Amino acid sequence: MLDVDSLETMSQLSCGFSILGFMFIASASRSEKLESMVQWFVVLSSICAAVFLILLWNAGGGMWGSQAMVRPLAVLSILIAIAARLNLKGAQISQGMNPHEIMKESADVSEAVSVSQDE
């Protein structure tokens, strides 16, 4: 079995790779194939990080001097893995008006009011 220092190093590296991949997804979105590859990289590295963090917790180790931080970081790694596979491109999530639509609508109302006052 791995010792605590090795588990801590491996979990930190896995978390770092996950974050770097997550930051790179926006650049990779120009190509669907590259975006999918980066998403799977983030998923795999996040799951590896969660596994290493759970093993680290079972071994009695901690992250950054805190044993209490290990389990929430493992859960966060799993949430990042789930979020990495969400493909929100082109989806309307809020179902509300965005600021551009609000500005356009208020400009249309202003024009209609000024036209009606001119008549």
Q: Is residue 114 part of a domain?
A: no
pLDDT in tens, 102-117: 677 777 767 666 666 6
Domain range for 39 is 4-87
Please say whether the beta carbons of 69 and 63 come within 8 A.
Answer: yes
Alpha carbon separation from 17 to 2, 12, 76, 89, 103 (Å, rounded): 20, 9, 14, 23, 41
Q: Is residue 79 part of a domain?
A: yes
Q: Is residue 102 part of a domain?
A: no
Name the band, by pLDDT with cuts 50, 70 and 90, for residue 48: very high
Q: Is residue 107 part of a domain?
A: no
Q: Is residue 76 part of a domain?
A: yes
Q: Check pLDDT > 60 for residue 57.
A: yes
Alpha carbon separation from 20 to 13, 15, 88, 118 (Å, rounded): 10, 9, 20, 58
Tokens 């929430």 map to which residue? 72
Q: Check pLDDT > 90 for residue 33.
A: no
Number of domains in the chain: 1
